[in-house]
Amino acid sequence: MNGDDPRDDPRRRRVPPPGRPGGPAVPPPAGRGAPPRRPLPPGGDPAMRRGNPQAGRMPAPDEGPTVRYNPAPRRERPASHIEPTQVLHRDGRGDQPLAYSQMPHEQVTPRGHAPTQRPVPHREPARHAPTQRPVPHHDAVPPRRRTPPPADAGGQVQPPRRRRRRHPFRWFLVVVVLLIVGLIAGVVHLDNSLTRIPALASYSDRIGNTPGTNWLLVGSDGRGDLSTEQEQELATGGDTGPERTDTIILVHIPSSGPTTMVSLPRDSYVSIPGHGKDKLNASFAFGGPSLLVQTVEEATGVRIDHYAQIGFGGFAGVVDALGGIEMCLDEPIVDPLAGLDLPAGCQELTGPEALGFVRTRATPRADVDRMKHQRMFMSALLKKATSLGTLANPFALWPMATGVAGSLKVDDGDHIWNLAALGWAMRGDTVTTSVPIGGFDDTDVGNVLLWDKTKASAFFDALAKDQQIPEDLLTR
């Protein structure tokens, strides 16, 4: 062939594979003159370990070529199967294949194994701000397709269910509702505990309605609900015949201004419908509460709107339920008939002591002092019953409320909330007085108390017109 043939160029000449004529020499197998192999240290090739200073260095001339192996080959092969990769060496004589002993260790790669990878130091990736995608215009955003709600068995489409949101104050509302329900249940129970009687029975020629609200409070000497031991404890003196009234108080609650509490002496000489002239408390013995109310209305000209009556036992029970009532006495009171022995000064009265205090006449002015004591004690009792300490303490409020409701007799049209309004109206400053007195007289019914007709007429006329009583008519 012509020497100009490019195939004669030794640089393009095919090199036969190792082991054939013209190819590189094959190293003898291990044990037959081959250079001894350096045993690998524990842990594999040191070039594969990070931070090894010997990794990647050139072998010394007396060490021979370095053969690198895959530290974790899939299958172990004998050393005889390892064939070096043919490498062409460029020198002045052209491309000549190198012998096995002349190959650089970087170019010797066992057949069937991955090339040796040098460890690359770890580098933290650069932190860049997150890529913000442009927000398309709202007109370009396709509308969301809502899945239609499923249909029921009848083929009707059910409205979508809304996700229930938990209210943060749900438990607070539950507690408030329970308190309201409990309060309503307690009020109903107390209202049902009241004893109702027809006290405000209508009669012919009854006085028309007058401004304001008028209560008639009656304390009777009834002993029907007392045992023998209780009668001895309260010093009631045993059965004295028909029930009578020891206390008669007219309470006027005006549209504006302070409440007025007027004591009506039980020995007042008045006209009793159907029975002529007699003591005021005799009307109660003759016809009960209804005749007493009619007698008071005709004597005063004031229409009675509400009626409440309490006995001995109920009065003492209410005082004990409140833990006693504090009273300040100007002088000592000793009354063996009422079981009373009180020193002068401020002191706490128990139930039996309070009952004797409002009943006693063992004082210089007898019935006049008695009415004064009754007004004093009634004001102190209502003030403590409506105080914040009593209303905010259920352990004091409930016994007091149940004691009052269980011992009172009221008219058929009265309720527990009417009594609450009465107590609330008398919680503050109250004008306490008595009917103007003209003197005493002895009659066929005994010693009686006479009213001052002129002053009494102006006195009750002011109440009937819902006006304040003039100062010159007040009796302290």
Over residues 176-205, the pLDDT tens digits come to 888 899 889 988 999 998 999 999 988 888
Q: For residue range 249-268, list pLDDT tens digits in order.
A: 999 999 888 999 999 998 99
Separation between Cα atoms, residue 427 and residue 390, nearest integer Å: 12
3-class secondary structure, 455: helix
Among 347, 222, 296, CA closest to 464: 296
Give the pLDDT confidence score for residue 276 in this predicted structure: 92
User: Whole-model pTM?
Assistant: 0.62
Separation between Cα atoms, residue 17 and residue 63, nearest integer Å: 26
**Strand 430-434 to 213-220 pairing:** unpaired
Give the pLDDT confidence score for residue 78 in this predicted structure: 52
19 pLDDT band, cuts 50/70/90, is: low
Least confident among 106-115, 120-129, 253-262, 415-424: 106-115
Task: Give the 3-state secondary structure percentages of the chain, helix then strand then coil, rounded to 5.
Answer: 30, 20, 50
3-class secondary structure, 113: coil
Residue with tokens 């970087």: 106
93-125 core/surface letters (b: 16 or more CB in 10 A; e: else): eeeebbebeebebeebbbeebeebeeeeeeeee
> Helices (H), strands (E): how many in the chain?
10, 17
User: Domains in the chain, start-ordered, CATH in brackets?
Assistant: 197-473 (3.40.630.190)
Separation between Cα atoms, residue 155 and residue 62, nearest integer Å: 93
pLDDT at 86 over 50: no
Residue with tokens 């249909």: 151
Average pLDDT over residues 47-73: 51
Q: Where are the alpha helices (DSSP H) in 212-272?
A: 228-234
What sign has the CA pseudo-torsion 52, 58, 60, 66? positive
Residue with tokens 């300040």: 328
pLDDT at 32 over 60: no
Give the pLDDT confidence score for residue 245 in this predicted structure: 82
Separation between Cα atoms, residue 376 and residue 358, nearest integer Å: 9
Give the pLDDT confidence score for residue 280 in this predicted structure: 93
Give the pLDDT confidence score for residue 337 in this predicted structure: 80
pLDDT at 97 over 70: no
Residues facing residue 351 across a β-bridge: none
Torsion angles phi and psi, residue 95, rounded to 5? -80, 115
Give the pLDDT confidence score for residue 426 in this predicted structure: 84
35 pLDDT band, cuts 50/70/90, is: low
Q: For residue range 365-396, list pLDDT tens digits in order.
A: 777 888 888 888 888 888 888 888 888 888 88
Percent of the chain having pLDDT more than 90? 22
298-325 core/surface letters (b: 16 or more CB in 10 A; e: else): bbbebbbbbbbbbbbbbbbbbbbbbebb
Which position has the higher pLDDT, 145 or 369?
369
Percent of the chain having pLDDT more than 70? 59
